[in-house]
């Protein structure tokens, strides 16, 4: 866990995987059996277990969360000339996956409470070339799906849920990944559960699942070995990664509860700073899994946020800025001023350490140092 020690205190990383179950045993089984590549029994075991846990008919492993998004967009028929609506406030992979298909991502602003794509802004962004919508459940809080799905159905659009950060989150009692037409998950090392790298596609649509399965394995015909009817991709997960994933999934409830406990600690410890900080809390209709616990400066700009992060770093506390909005990035630059919420969150938000290895003392120390720096801020 330690990166370095500062004045006798272990440095607190912003994210850290926890391997406290069958991870080593399952990986050793892969090595001993020789099944280490993209064939092997743990692939099917992990897919079946994840589908059951999510509550969907099909779960398909793949190389990473970005590959999962690309596969789904291809399976939904996205290509050159098409447009796909995506939130501006998200990790860049969401927009990149649209570009991989030769299509155009159309950016949409966020709503101010959950920071997710704003249903009220969606309809004005729909045009004759719009093919679908990617909804991101940002930082583990679900988007407001009912109005989004109503708009999509009215206009004949597909909805992909980017649930890379939202394993186990729910909307009105329904798990994310089951709310749209299909969904993608990421198992990168900083996620709630990890396979190192890795991703998953989930859907109830059997034809869509078959298309994803074909595309992720170089396009090889499942009934005719080494026959390739389409151009596919090498987007497969390894058996070793699936073994890790299966072990992590066996402990998912404990991993999720640990994050809820960390969030509760932050809410208690930062309660007296409401005049300085806005917390990314959960809506009444959501179950937030707090992939990252985020706070937002009520005033100031990116310079003030970055200065605060530097002071926390000197205390041995790693933090991260909230994602820069896509419209600020050179590939997707848009100076139209249509993204006031994304601009506000992107310039004032920071992610505090959030993972299952944090102790109550860690959280208390982070809150104390954050309060100290805000009190001495001009």
Tell me the pLDDT tens digit for each residue of 305-346.
Answer: 999 999 999 999 999 999 999 999 999 999 999 999 999 999
Mean per-residue pLDDT for 138-160?
Answer: 98
pLDDT at 3 over 70: no
Look up residue 304 and give its two tokens.
């003030």
Assess whether 191 carries a catalytic annotation.
Answer: yes
Look up residue 11 and give its two tokens.
């440095």
Q: Compute φ and ψ for 130, nearest 5 degrees.
A: -70, 125
Place of tokens 């070995």: 225
User: Which strand (E) or helix (H) includes residue 130?
Assistant: strand 130-136
pLDDT at 4 over 70: no
Q: Are strands 83-87 and 104-108 parallel, antiparallel or unpaired?
A: parallel
Tell me the CA distances in angstroms from 48 to 69, 247, 308, one per residue in order.
20, 13, 45
Q: What is the mean pLDDT of the chain?
A: 96
Mean per-residue pLDDT for 171-187?
Answer: 98
> For position 7, what pLDDT does the model report?
47
> For position 1, what pLDDT does the model report?
33
User: Which strand (E) or helix (H) includes residue 158?
Assistant: strand 158-162
Assign domain 252-375 to a CATH class. Answer: alpha beta
Sequence spans of domains, the chain: 23-250, 252-375
More confident residue, 243 or 3: 243
Question: Which CATH number does 23-250 carry?
Answer: 3.40.640.10
pLDDT at 155 over 50: yes
Closest by alpha carbon to 107, among 131, 73, 83, 128? Answer: 83
pLDDT at 363 over 90: yes
**Catalytic residue among 45, 131, 175, 191, which?**
191
Give the pLDDT confidence of 13-51 residue by residue, as tens digits: 999 999 999 999 999 999 999 999 999 999 999 999 999
Tell me the CA distances in angstroms from 356 to 1, 16, 79, one per residue in order.
12, 8, 40
pLDDT at 289 over 70: yes
Look up residue 27 and give its two tokens.
């990986």
Mean per-residue pLDDT for 251-269?
Answer: 98
Query: Can 23-250 and 252-375 be said to share one CATH topology?
Result: no
175: region left, alpha or beta (phi > 0 left; psi from -120 to 50 alpha): beta
Mean per-residue pLDDT for 133-157?
Answer: 98
pLDDT at 64 over 90: yes
Tell me the CA distances in angstroms from 8 to 4, 5, 314, 334, 352, one per residue in order.
10, 6, 13, 47, 21
């Amino acid at each position: 866990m330690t990166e370095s020690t500062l004045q006798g205190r272990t440095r607190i990383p912003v994210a850290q995987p926890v391997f406290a179950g069958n991870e080593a045993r399952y990986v050793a089984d892969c090595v001993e059996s020789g099944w280490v590549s993209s064939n092997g029994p743990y692939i099917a075991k992990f897919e079946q277990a994840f589908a059951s846990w999510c509550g969907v008919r099909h779960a398909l492993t793949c190389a990473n969360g970005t590959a999962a998004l690309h596969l789904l967009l291809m399976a939904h028929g996205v290509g050159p000339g098409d447009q796909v609506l995506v939130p501006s406030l998200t990790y860049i992979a969401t927009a990149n996956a649209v570009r991989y298909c030769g299509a155009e991502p159309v950016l949409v602003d966020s709503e101010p409470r959950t920071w997710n794509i704003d249903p009220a802004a969606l309809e004005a962004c729909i045009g004759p070339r719009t093919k679908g919508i990617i909804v991101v459940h940002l930082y583990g809080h679900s988007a407001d799906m009912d109005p989004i799905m109503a708009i999509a159905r009215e206009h004949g659009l597909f909805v992909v849920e980017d649930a890379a950060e939202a394993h186990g989150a729910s909307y009105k009692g329904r798990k994310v990944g089951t709310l749209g037409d299909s969904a993608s998950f990421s198992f990168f090392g900083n996620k709630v559960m990890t396979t190192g790298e890795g991703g998953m596609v989930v859907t109830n649509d059997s034809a869509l699942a078959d298309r994803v399965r074909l595309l992720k394995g170089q396009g090889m015909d499942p009934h005719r070995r080494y026959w390739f009817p389409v151009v596919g991709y090498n987007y497969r997960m390894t058996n070793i990664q699936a073994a890790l994933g299966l072990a992590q999934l066996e402990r998912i409830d404990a991993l999720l509860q640990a994050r809820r406990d960390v969030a509760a600690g932050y809410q208690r410890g930062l309660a007296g700073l409401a005049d300085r900080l806005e917390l990314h809390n959960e809506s009444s209709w959501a179950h937030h899994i707090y992939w990252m616990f985020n706070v937002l400066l009520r005033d100031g700009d990116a310079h003030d946020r970055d200065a605060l992060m530097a002071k926390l770093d000197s205390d041995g506390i790693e933090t991260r800025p909230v994602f820069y909005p896509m419209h600020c990035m050179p590939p997707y630059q848009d100076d139209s001023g249509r993204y006031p919420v994304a601009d506000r969150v992107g310039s004032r938000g920071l992610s505090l350490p959030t993972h299952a290895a944090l102790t109550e003392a860690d959280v208390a120390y982070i809150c104390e140092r954050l309060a100290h720096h805000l009190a001495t801020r001009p």
